[in-house]
Homo-oligomer: A and B are copies of this chain.
Amino acid sequence: MSDGDDVRGRLIQAAGPIFAEKGFAQATVRDICAAAGANVASVNYYFGDKEKLYFETFSHAHRCRVRQTPLPPFEPDQAPEEKLRGFLRSMLQRLFEPDERTRWEHELLLRELVQPTGIMEPLFEEFFRPMFTLLTGIVREFVGQEPSEADVHRLSYSVLGQCLFYRVGEHIVRKMHDQPELSREFTSERVAEHIFEFSRSALQGYGKPASMRAGPTGREADA
């Protein structure tokens, strides 16, 4: 609904990328209306005020994402390795979303997660929690022994942090590499594979002291 060429739909479609790029405060209704080819007054006519337009735009993005990318495919009998790999592939694909038309939806959701305006408060459980619960479940499968709740969270944050870095640290990454290398070496697939390898090693080594881990190189930990 509301994707047509009616003004209301056009406003949401125009507002999405602008809110995603500049944030709520920096985006102006004049910019949005100009991009939508609509009059300045139309925002207030159709939505009441700017904040309600933001809310509608946000929940539109949320609904689209839930519908199109429900969650990483999970099979209860899969090995935890494959679950983790699937989770990371899905996550990185979202963060690296190449499709111009839908990228802003991820950006908007992520922006709200990192610097909340408060609009997501009610949707937090629905949007973020399922993804996080899935991750903690995978982590728990990896870590054989009984870890504390705080440990599971820290481990999950470690996995999640690696992923989010490529979005929040985008400017850093872009500055450290020239364009051709960036597009060659930092595709969503390669980064996902890297984070998978990194995290698998870490998770499997969890709880084992340094001297017990690692192979024959025997770089024993002491100084």
Contact = CB atoms under 8 A, between A and B. Distances in A.
Contact of A161 (B161, B213, B215, B222): B161
A89 to B, nearest CB: 15
B213 A214 contact: yes
A150 B95 CA distance: 19
Contacts of A155: 194, 198
Contact of A25 (B26, B164, B169): B26
B185 A223 contact: no
A116 interface: yes
B215 A213 contact: yes
Contact of A205 (B165, B181, B205): B205
Interface stretch (A11-19, A49-57, A74-82, A99-107): A74-82
A177 interface: yes
Interface string A52-72: 000000000000000000000
